[in-house]
């Protein structure tokens, strides 16, 4: 009865921001499950090292693609190259992200706003647009947006980050409605506070979130494995338009 439920062997995935943190974890998980993966980011050495390691460990086809996700032309070219290489795209994970801190909105600069929106939101729109064309022809696709609980709750000092993730949640629902008829599911994962290069365990933000988890610890990238595989596989075939918190209970603990 469970044969094949979580099976993504032989599928082809695209993951943005796969050179570190959550994106690297999901790329490693998919490769371990026998999925071929195109890994996108700016840091070439990291991508090449990850591609070598995953190819060696799991005998899958890993395609490193060096690009800046704020560059629309680079993203369009990347998707064309990936389709030429794999012949299809089954799974897209919009994961690349950044943040910008300021005391409050009165000092948040336009440059900070544009960079966060471009990296977290516009890149997801462009990659989804390009991949949706391929997925519609295939009549199959799984799009996973890496959002954040800050797209659901308020968070001070990071107004553009919170806005980008809130918009990503809305885009997830809108795309789910549009693409459902083509057998394409679109869902989002909203992590809580996860220990990566983006976060700082010594920070006030970390202490705040840690005090609100009910699990007694901040999260690790591997805590997202289960839900990532669920949303990438046919186990989630009747799930679309959802935003799933994986936050150690932060949102429940009001």
Query: Which residues form the catalytic set?
Result: 161
**Both tokens assigned to 92:** 């897209």
Question: Interface with ligand NDP includes 96 (CB under 6 A)?
Answer: yes
Nearer to ligand NDP by Cβ, of 179 and 188: the residue is 188
Among 31, 37, 97, 131, binds ligand NDP (CB under 6 A): 97
Region from 1-9, 85-93, 194-202, 237-245 binding ligand NDP, contact rule CB under 6 A: 194-202
Question: Interface with ligand NDP includes 112 (CB under 6 A)?
Answer: no
Phi, psi of 15 (to 5 degrees): -130, 120
Neighbours of 100 (CB within 10 A): 18
Neighbours of 84 (CB within 10 A): 8
- SS3 for 64-99 is EEECCCCCHHHHHHHHHHHHHHHCCCCEEEECCCCC
Among 102, 138, 157, 199, binds ligand NDP (CB under 6 A): 199
Nearest residue to 25 via CA among 226, 185, 241, 180: 226
Binding track over 146-185 against ligand NDP, x by CB under 6 A: x-x-------------------------------------
CA torsion, points 199, 103, 167, 251, in degrees to nearest 10? 60
Question: Interface with ligand NDP includes 43 (CB under 6 A)?
Answer: yes
Question: Interface with ligand NDP includes 85 (CB under 6 A)?
Answer: no
Nearer to ligand NDP by Cβ, of 22 and 51: the residue is 22
Angle CA 140–145–147, to nearest 5:
165
Region from 11-19, 56-64, 82-90, 134-142 binding ligand NDP, contact rule CB under 6 A: 11-19
Nearer to ligand NDP by Cβ, of 194 and 244: the residue is 194
At closest approach, how far in Å is the CB of 110 from ligand NDP? 17
Nearer to ligand NDP by Cβ, of 30 and 193: the residue is 193
CA torsion, points 167, 172, 174, 179, in degrees to nearest 10? 150
Nearer to ligand NDP by Cβ, of 140 and 158: the residue is 158
**Both tokens assigned to 155:** 């968070």
Question: Interface with ligand NDP includes 135 (CB under 6 A)?
Answer: no
Q: Are 47 and 19 in contact (CB under 8 A)?
A: yes
Give residues in contact with ligand NDP (CB under 6 A). 17-23, 41-43, 68-70, 95-98, 119-120, 146, 148, 191, 193-194, 196-199
């Amino acid at each position: 009865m469970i044969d094949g439920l979580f099976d993504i062997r032989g599928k082809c995935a695209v993951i943005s921001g796969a050179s570190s943190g959550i994106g690297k974890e999901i790329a490693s998980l998919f490769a371990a499950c026998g999925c071929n993966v195109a890994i996108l980011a700016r840091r070439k050495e990291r991508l090449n090292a990850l591609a070598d390691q995953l190819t060696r460990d799991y005998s899958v086809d890993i395609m490193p693609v060096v690009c800046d996700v704020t560059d629309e032309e680079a993203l369009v070219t990347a998707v064309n190259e990936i389709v030429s290489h794999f012949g299809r795209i089954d799974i897209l994970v919009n994961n690349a992200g950044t943040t910008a801190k300021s005391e409050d909105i009165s000092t948040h600069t336009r440059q900070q706003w544009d960079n966060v929106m471009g990296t977290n939101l516009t890149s997801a729109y462009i990659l989804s647009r390009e991949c949706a064309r391929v997925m519609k022809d295939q009549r199959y696709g799984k799009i996973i947006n890496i959002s954040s609980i800050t797209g659901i709750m308020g968070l001070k000092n990071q107004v553009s980050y919170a806005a980008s993730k809130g918009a990503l949640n809305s885009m997830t629902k809108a795309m789910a409605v549009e693409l459902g008829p083509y057998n394409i599911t679109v869902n989002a994962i909203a992590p809580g506070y996860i220990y990566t290069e983006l976060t700082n365990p010594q920070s006030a933000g970390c202490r705040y979130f840690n005090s609100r988890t009910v699990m007694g610890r901040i999260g690790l990238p591997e805590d997202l494995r289960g839900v990532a595989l669920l949303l990438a596989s046919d186990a989630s075939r009747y799930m679309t338009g959802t935003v799933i918190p994986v936050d150690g209970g932060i949102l429940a603990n009001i």
